[in-house]
A = this chain, B = another copy of it.
Amino acid sequence: MLRALYDTEVAYLRALVSTGIAPVEVLEPFEEHPGLTTRASISDFARQARDGGNPVIPLIADLRTTSGPVTAHWIHKGATSQDILDTALMLLAQRVRETLLLRIDAAVSSLARLSDEHRGTAAAARTLTQHAVPTTYGLRFATWLTTLLDARDDLRALVLPAQLGGAAGTLASLVELAGNRAADMPAAFASAVGLAESSPWHVSRAPVTRLGDALTRLTDVFGTIGANVATLSRTEIGELSEPAAEGRGGSSAMPQKQNPVVSVLLRSVSLRAPGLASALHVAAASFVDERPDGAWHSEWPALRELQRLALGGSALLQDLLGGLTVNLDAVARNLALDDLRAEQRSLGGSSGDYTGLSDHFIDAAIARARA
């Protein structure tokens, strides 16, 4: 977060320079020292941020101290703390998204492979916990794949905007400083920080709720895949096994146990996210004035925690799907447990594997994964 705040302040300076408002020399200190230098200063920031209720104020003080008088004069000039904080949150979200998409891509590849490999693995489909009709493991994986692709599409489609509006969303401070050139700043700042240009969204929080909702749709996928793997790993079912890893899933006192701990953690992540996303909506619905009396402050920790859950869960998911094993004996044994052709006979048929358009749906999911 601190890195994102720092990068945002520097991007603001770059925009002041590129619009001709500030002289090019203000950027010199950042060419030499391309970032925050010491862990000591980071921990000082944290302390001062807590005392001041806002990490931007100590950051500015620090930058002014270390950057020489010309730069110090222009740092943060014309901006308000919310401009920096909201932009840094979106910048952080963009970086988180990059990592998430890489991990999702790996999980997508694994599921596409599993779908293809198991298109012929007939298995019992279960509805309301009971065996129903036949399906294939290929189709089961293709369904998970579709679910994951839906979440990936939502994440990709997010537009993450820079924020620039000054104390009350009018940009009056920049106009006072720079006259007509101020009108170029929203685009210049967005470009410098690598986010989308936007009108001020100080009290218009769709960028935040869209992000929170998309992250939660991703954790929903963690939950449904985790719940399925945990269920299908049950001692009595035994159709799936998590990848083995040194020191994972064992029990010191019960050496026979191999717990599906990755799935358990995925499910745990998914149960926590919806309450966090709901807090973002409660906040969005409570924005008053030109900056609200608490709703804004409640967004940061909920967003941070949602991003942590998404990052942790995506690593677990990649790992899980990269080494998931289908135990063909158990699948066949369960399939034979009872008669799954009752529906078929009620329709007058009896031959074939009764798996309908499974291959068609598998192909569609794989094609979408590869597109």
The contact string, 1 if C-beta is below 8 Å from chain B, for chain A 328-348, is: 000000100111001110111
Task: Name the B residues within 8 Å of A278 (CB-CB).
Answer: 274-275, 277-278
* Interface assignment of A209: CB less than 8 Å from any CB of chain B: yes
Partner-contacting stretch, out of A110-118, A187-195, A231-239: A231-239
A22 CB, nearest partner CB in chain B, Å:
14
* Interface assignment of A203: CB less than 8 Å from any CB of chain B: yes
* Known A-B contacts A274-B278, A365-B199; A254 and B342 likewise in contact (beta carbons under 8 Å): yes
Copies, count: 4
* Known A-B contacts A289-B228, A339-B256, A364-B199; A357 and B170 likewise in contact (beta carbons under 8 Å): yes
Q: Which of B132, B253, B339 contacts A343 (CB 8 A)?
A: B253
Task: Name the B residues within 8 Å of A51 (CB-CB).
Answer: 247
* Known A-B contacts A294-B267, A301-B272; A147 and B53 likewise in contact (beta carbons under 8 Å): no
Task: Name the B residues within 8 Å of A167 (CB-CB).
Answer: 125, 127, 132-133, 253-254, 343
B183–A360 contact, CB under 8 A? yes
Q: Which of B57, B271, B294, B344 contacts A298 (CB 8 A)?
A: B271
The contact string, 1 if C-beta is below 8 Å from chain B, for chain A 279-296, is: 101111111111111111
The contact string, 1 if C-beta is below 8 Å from chain B, for chain A 260-274, is: 110111111111111
Task: Name the B residues within 8 Å of A59 (CB-CB).
Answer: none
* Known A-B contacts A220-B284, A334-B236, A356-B173; A290 and B204 likewise in contact (beta carbons under 8 Å): no
Task: Name the B residues within 8 Å of A222 (CB-CB).
Answer: 285
A288 and B236 alpha carbons, distance in the complex (Å): 15
Residue tally, chain A, CB below 8 Å to B: 141
* Known A-B contacts A234-B129, A264-B297, A357-B183; A143 and B204 likewise in contact (beta carbons under 8 Å): yes
Task: Name the B residues within 8 Å of A251 (CB-CB).
Answer: 132
B127–A289 contact, CB under 8 A? yes
In A183-240, which residues have CB < 8 Å from any B CB? 183, 199-206, 209-210, 213, 216-217, 219-220, 222-224, 226-228, 230-231, 233-237
In A42-66, which residues have CB < 8 Å from any B CB? 51-53, 57
- A–B complex contacts, Cβ < 8 Å, 23 sampled: A52-B247, A129-B293, A132-B167, A132-B168, A139-B169, A143-B169, A150-B204, A171-B357, A173-B356, A174-B356, A175-B356, A175-B357, A176-B349, A220-B285, A226-B294, A230-B294, A253-B343, A271-B279, A273-B285, A275-B282, A277-B278, A278-B278, A305-B305
Supply 6 further A-B pairs (C-beta < 8 A) apart from A125-B290, A143-B204.
A57-B252, A127-B289, A182-B356, A234-B234, A275-B282, A278-B278
A residues sitting closer than 8 Å to B (CB atoms) are 51-53, 57, 78, 80, 124-136, 139-140, 143-144, 146-147, 150-151, 154, 166-177, 182-183, 199-206, 209-210, 213, 216-217, 219-220, 222-224, 226-228, 230-231, 233-237, 247-248, 251-261, 263-279, 281-298, 301-302, 305, 334, 337-339, 342-344, 346-349, 354-358, 360-361, 364-365
